[in-house]
Amino acid sequence: SAPTRYAVIGNPVAHSKSPWIHARFAEQTGQDLTYEAICAPIDDFPAQVAAFFAAGGGGLNVTVPFKLQAFELARAHLSPRATAAGAVNTLWMADGRLHGCNTDGVGLIADLRRLGTRLAGARVLLAGAGGAARGILLPLIEAGCARIDIANRTAARAEELAAAFPAGQAMLRGSGYADLRAGGGWDLVINATASSLDDEAPPLPAGAYAAGAMAYDLMYAARPTAFLRQAMADGASATADGLGMLVGQAAESFHIWRGVRPDPAPVLAALRKLLSA
């Protein structure tokens, strides 16, 4: 029989590394599948998803700008992670119904564990309150962080985000950057803003990094982002960009679809080489 079709759907999507990553996972696990990139017209996402699955497609990864629309389409069958994230990056059919999950947060946690970052009891500073920040909050709470301070340029969005997670009320706090405690001493600082796209860093207070602290930028690039350069100058002990999170979320989607867990480490190493070439 023909290999099952998978794809990432977005707009734009030509730059996506997902087809490459999933092709490596399929080789590694011996799974018979194809994985392509679909650029959907902005106003045609629901019809494209319906057509993909009607033709026997096995699963879709969803990227910018369709994660909220994917959430709406799968509203009747969302995983707890998708519900918490308010967005869906993984779609599949089961019993003739469309299901949705969000694997971004799990991908981040897996990458932090790979890097040896201690999460239990950690004091975390999360910069940004957009879709990416929302997507990683529940997994961070579940990983046992002691406290999560959310800071955002638009303070009200950080306050709203902190209030949206009843499970973590005692340990969550949202504010603007100016209202962060000076000399905060965070063990883990995560940049979930889009500021690195403008080669800018979020305005963190002096003394943000505790001894042994990790700085993690969700964005990935061939060279250190402005946030990571700032973190090194400010005394962070370790830095990482979001390439491992990207491979981690792909591995989790692959597991949902195929029931097989690929090893992300060799794929991440090869992708890093490719990016820096």
Catalytic residues: 67
| Residue 153 labeled ligand binder | yes
Distances (CA, A) of 173 to 157, 160, 161: 12, 10, 9
Question: What's the one-letter identity of residue 263?
Answer: D
d(CA 46, CA 73) in angstroms, rounded, equals 7
For residue 51, the number of C-alpha atoms closer than 13 Å in the C-beta half-sphere is 8
Question: Is 273 annotated as a binding-site member?
Answer: no
Q: In terms of CB distance, is 137 or 213 closer to ligand NDP?
A: 137
Taking the C-alpha atoms of residue 43 and residue 157, their distance in angstroms, rounded to an integer, is 27
- Give the residue at shortest CB distance from ligand NDP: 130
**Torsions phi, psi for 226 (to 5 deg):** -55, -40
Positions of E strands within the chain: 4-10, 33-39, 59-62, 90-94, 97-101, 123-127, 147-151, 172-175, 186-191, 209-217, 238-241
Q: What is the CA radius of gyration of the chain?
A: 19
Closest to ligand NDP by CB, 55 or 176: 176
Q: Which is nearer to ligand NDP, 4 or 175 (CB)?
A: 175
Determine whether the annotation assigns residue 253 to a binding site.
no
* Least distance in angstroms from the C-beta of 51 to ligand NDP: 26
Q: How far is the CB of 250 from ligand NDP (least distance, A)?
A: 9
Angle at 120 between CA 81 and CA 89, to 5 degrees: 20
Instruction: Using CB under 6 A, list all residues that contact ligand NDP.
Output: 104, 128-133, 152-154, 157, 192-195, 197-198, 200, 202, 218-220, 242, 245-246, 249
* Shortest distance, position 32 Cβ to ligand NDP, whole Å: 26
Q: Nearest distance from residue 150's CB to ligand NDP, in Å?
A: 9
The answer on whether 244 is annotated among ligand-binding residues is no
The residue (of 108 and 141) whose beta carbon lies closer to ligand NDP is 108
154 is in an annotated binding site: yes
Report which residue type is found at 237: S
Q: Binding-site residues for NADP(+), please?
A: 128-132, 152-157, 218, 242
Q: Binding-site residues for shikimate, please?
A: 16-18, 63, 89, 104, 220, 249
Q: Binding-site residues, please?
A: 16-18, 63, 89, 104, 128-132, 152-157, 218, 220, 242, 249
